[in-house]
Amino acid sequence: MIRYFIGEKGRTKEVQEQEPGCWVMITPPFEQGELESLADTYGVPFEYIVDSLDIDERSRYEVDDDVRLVVLNAPVPNEVDRHGLYEAIYITAPIGIIPLDDMTLTLSRMDSPALIRFVEQKVRGCDPRNQEQFILQIFEQTNYIYLDNLKKLNLKRYLIEKELYNSSRNEELKQLLQIEKSLVYFVTALRSNELLYMKMKRTDFLELNDDEDLLELFDDVIIDNSQALEMANVYTNILSGTMETYASIISNNLNMYINRISVIAIVLMVPTLVSSFYGMNVKLPFQEDPYSFYYLSFLSLVLIFTSIYILRKKNLL
């Protein structure tokens, strides 16, 4: 699917045909041979298109015959049925950005929330004709999506922890595992994006030409990415500690239950032993006495309470 957007009054506006300075948004589904046709139409290396659609592609930039490519990893909701597989809530997918002379191409295998914000006209001061600023705004919106998703994951973790205070069901622990997987994706992608931004700024890949406003925007992008990376690391450490703590709590509770069962078994063993003696076919004291049952019952109760008293004194009950 190919969609065209231009800048109008500081917002993006979709148009039906390609115009000079427009933004060309390319997303699946693709027909057979369409990728090769796109490469020929826009004069870009076919590898650029393939790399931009590779879900495992790392963040990087590349130049081939004066055609530039930037691959950025952005967060996307996981479309897999997580309830059965307990997969991550969010994963990361690359966005390929190819700035050409009279337009800017973006390619993504999945609907990226960062690009959807431009489509839904939620980004102010956006004009695809200013390629450098537009690319930096894509970076900026990607960081905002990371920060927003991290806050949602942290809130979900907090709510699950509150439920775990009152129960130790596997369902909550599996949900924590989903969050942990999402954070692993985020930490890996944010670290890769940070290296990309630093290298792009050092080499002046976007050719900002000492534009103070754009350089300041680029600095904000780097700072926001570092903040998101730090938050992801903190939440990962908190979650790891939480899961270890609850694993210890569950193990401790299991030991307590086993201890209680063992104590109950010991207490009940005493009267059972007395009853076993009088169940044998041998002569025993009081067996001819008509009140022997009451004697034995009283003796069993005495032994039970004695056992309980001794176990309590030793803090075993």
Residue 89, domain CATH = 3.30.460.20
Find the domain containing 27 and state its range.
Answer: 2-252
The SS3 of residue 36 is helix
Rounded distance between C-alpha atoms, residue 42 and residue 102, angstroms = 11
CA-to-CA distance for 34 and 32, rounded, in angstroms? 6
DSSP label at 87? -
Which one of 47-61, 171-185, 256-270 scores highest in mean pLDDT? Answer: 47-61
**Residue 201, in any domain of the structure:** yes
Q: Report the range of poorest mean pLDDT among 99-103, 149-153, 259-263.
A: 259-263
Q: Is residue 218 part of a domain?
A: yes
- When divided into structural domains, the chain yields a total of 1
Asked, for residue 311, whether it belongs to a domain, the answer is no
Give the model confidence (pLDDT) of 76-88 as tens digits: 998 765 455 568 8
Mean pLDDT of 183-196: 95
Would the pTM of this model clear 0.85, i.e. be above it? no
Q: Tell whether 299 is covered by a domain.
A: no
Let me know if residue 147 belongs to a domain.
yes
Contact call for residues 187 and 75 (beta carbons, < 8 A): no
Query: Chain-wide mean pLDDT for the chain?
Result: 86
Percentage above 90 pLDDT, the chain = 47
Position 7 in a domain: yes
Q: CA-based Rg of the chain, rounded to a whole angstrom?
A: 34
In a domain, 190, yes or no: yes
- Is the bond into 29 cis (omega within 30 degrees of 0)? yes
Is there a domain that residue 154 lies in?
Answer: yes
Among 34, 28, 82, 33, which Cα is nearest to 54's? Answer: 28
- Specify burial of residue 118 (Cβ count, 10 A radius: 0-12, 13-18, 19+): buried
